[in-house]
Amino acid sequence: MTTPDLTGKVALVTGSSRGLGRHYALELARHGADVAIHDVDVTAAARFGEAESGIAVAKEIRALGRQSGFHMADLTDAAQSERLVSEVIESFGTIDILVNNAGGDIGAVTPRPDPNDALDIDPDDIRAVVERNVLTTMYACKYAGQHMRTRRSGKIVNIGSTAGHVPARTGIVYAAAKAANSHYTRCLAEQLRPFNVNVNCLAPSPTYTGRFLATREVADESDKSPLQRIAQPGDMASIVLFLAGPASDHLTGETIVCW
């Protein structure tokens, strides 16, 4: 397989000032894409020590010779999602690639819901998790998808989780939200199929990021095979690159689950 060339393409990666989103954005930029960086606020990247700010991540992209800028929006709000898409189109001229990375098993006021089951979880945490993982994806797809439908071209990559494909004892609401994203991907792919817009989903396995390390105890894995270990960010970024590039031109409606 040849190395993807995304020169001339414009990507919007949501939640890209930190974590896996930052790695997705950098990988797309390394292969030629101009990338719009997004997060809910400019300081979000610093919360787990992953970057100085969203503005700093945009500078990383520009240091690679690509265009970039930081855009702030709360994607649980439809109006802000619409504004984000409009701003990126105004700044870059178009959106060729949308990576819906914003989300996470995040409580309303805590790093993770506590309790984090189906019965004792606080209702505010249920709402927070569903909004951050389902509504953010649906709103961004709605407005970027309208643009891609008009252009009759585009790639949408929704980010799910392996949690959405196995029974869960904790993070049950999060798991259900990510399962919803996979089926939404199938349905949106059918609506956009006549317009040459690919819609696929990546369900990453547990992956080392600042937030992951800050919210979990990680055991020694030196005696495990690479396919048994927690993934590195580059492992997931390479799959996003595949889904955003020409090698996936005849793939749509699918979820790649990284067990």
Please check whether residue 159 is in contact with residue 99, taking contact to mean a CB–CB distance below 8 angstroms: yes
- Catalytic residue from among 139, 143, 174, 184: 174
Is-contact 23 233, C-beta < 8 A? yes
The Cβ of residue 49 has, within 10 Å, a number of other Cβ atoms equal to: 11
Residue 143 tokens, joined: 């407005």
Number of H helices, E strands in the chain: 8, 7
Instruction: Tokens for 192, please give them.
Output: 């956009």
Does the annotation mark 139 as catalytic? Answer: no
Start-to-end Cα distance in the chain: 23
Q: How many CB atoms lie within 10 A of CB 226?
A: 9
Q: Which residues are marked as active site? A: 174
